[in-house]
A = this chain, B = another copy of it.
Amino acid sequence: MSSAPLSETLKAFVAIVGEANALTAASDIAPYLVESRGLYHGSSPLVLKPGSTQEVSAIMALASRTGTPIVPAGGRTGHVGGQVPRDGLSDVVLSLERMNRIREIDISGDVIVADGGAILADIQKAAAEHNRLFPLSLGSEGSCRIGGNLSTNAGGTAVLAYGNVRQLCLGLEVVLPTGEIWDGLRRLKKDNSGYDLRDLFIGAEGTLGIITGAVLKLFPRPRGHQVAFVGLASPGDALALFERASTLCGSALTGFEIMPRIGIDFTTKHIAGVRDPLPSAHPWYALIDISTSDSAETAERMIASLLEETHDTGLVKDAVIASSLAQQEAFWRLRESMSDAQKPEGGSIKHDVSVPVSSVPRFLADANAAVMARMPEARIVSFGHLGDGNIHYNISQPIGADKAAFIARWREMNAIVHAVVHAHGGSISAEHGVGQLKRDELAASRPVIETELMKRIKLAFDPAGIMNPGKMVSTQ
């Protein structure tokens, strides 16, 4: 428990939360200084764990008076370094982990009100206990916290039907850099009474204030759920099938994922228990997920009639509808283990990109051509949320290549792929956010005036620059 003696300022911070809720030993602080992929490592003399919005407010008021930089931390599951303090400086970490309550569930109003530090899975569970659905769902849902989900405008697997978390939030409570509390915990579907502050804080990665509470929308729990696995000739056919599925199923279409044959090869080879659901090989595959709120039969009927029609027209080459819950899960497991299945094949250079949905086939063709021109033996494993235009464009190393030499070409390959993304009017930061990882690349690629407006907003909210400094936008 040895550590440098605290300054008077840091002692004043500790006094706000009490010694039991402040970490000062280097070994206790260490987990707050890294992120899961090991890309960033920061430094901090102090981690504060406030227990209430009022304590967060007192911390920020003191930070504002003393010019102390504060880094808000939720579940710390982000991939872009947004939650990691700067290295070599003395940023104080403010963790919301103790503010993890469900404040209220209003069933007739279909809203849940939660602390910013509430764990996503706890919110899902509370909704389910009241026969409701909170649809945000991510790989990290067991540990990520809703304040972080909101601050990064999290996506996940339910975006197609329910939108990003931005669409799932009606109101916010935010502690500003000055310590003032904005009570915007509204529950209204319609409210045109001022500038849209809510959507400004959502996705701001804690650089404009700290989200300490949120009003979230609940939905009916689906009664019917069905999953199909479909063999296709090309991404173009996948797009045509998606468009038909959207028309026939409307908001019941809750998932439309695509995978290339190489991804099925890797997955069936490396992931225990996974097998190819179809008897023969196809160049591309789609996973179609249908959820219906009225009855289980509707989901069955919808998916069967979609596949019947599109098989008759030749669009669908082969298809299988899950015959059990276990098989539904197996289909999804195949899709979800696609990234892990690349690991035994060596290094993988990854991209978090989106393009307009209708441009996905052309984007894939152009990106593949550009990548193969530079690295003819590259094995491209591009899969993901076709319905959102969001593709995990991963490149596995050539067979027999040296992993380190391959990974050393990360930025080179990024530049090639990102150029194709820009040519298609896409985003090189679809889902994971900006943080430290993409701050400067985005500043270089977005319109100059846009970065300028971002800086002006940052300065208007945080003139002293103490709120998660160095993330999202540089004000230097």
Contacts and interface: CB of A to CB of B under 8 A. Distances in A.
Interface in A416-470: 425-434, 438, 442, 446-447, 449-451, 453-454, 456-457, 459-461
A36 interface: no
B247 A192 contact: no
A324 interface: no
Contacts of A208: 195
Nearest to A223: B247
A453 B461 contact: yes
A69 interface: no
B427 A188 contact: yes
A152 interface: yes
Contacts of A204: 195
A113 to B, nearest CB: 11
A358 B188 CA distance: 10
B294 A247 contact: yes
B449 A190 contact: no
A426 B250 contact: no
Nearest to A442: B193
Contacts of A430: 188, 190-192
Interface residues on A, range: 35 or more
Number of copies: 2
A373 to B, nearest CB: 26
A357 B189 contact: yes
Contacts of A108: 239, 243, 358
A25 to B, nearest CB: 35
Given A183-B447, A184-B450, A192-B153, A250 B389 contact: no
B248 A194 contact: no
A100 interface: no
A355 B199 CA distance: 20
Given A193-B446, A194-B446, A456-B460, A248 B294 contact: yes
26 contacts: A109-B356, A110-B358, A153-B196, A184-B447, A188-B425, A188-B427, A190-B354, A190-B388, A190-B390, A190-B431, A191-B354, A191-B429, A192-B427, A192-B430, A193-B442, A194-B451, A194-B454, A195-B203, A195-B453, A195-B457, A196-B196, A196-B199, A197-B450, A199-B199, A248-B293, A248-B294
Interface of A: 106, 108-111, 152-153, 155, 159, 164, 166-167, 176, 180-184, 186-197, 199-200, 202-204, 208, 220, 239, 243, 246-252, 292-294, 354-359, 385, 387-390, 425-434, 438, 442, 446-447, 449-451, 453-454, 456-457, 459-461, 472-473
Q: Which 5 A-B pairs have the closest CB atoms?
A: A251-B251, A109-B358, A199-B199, A108-B358, A193-B429
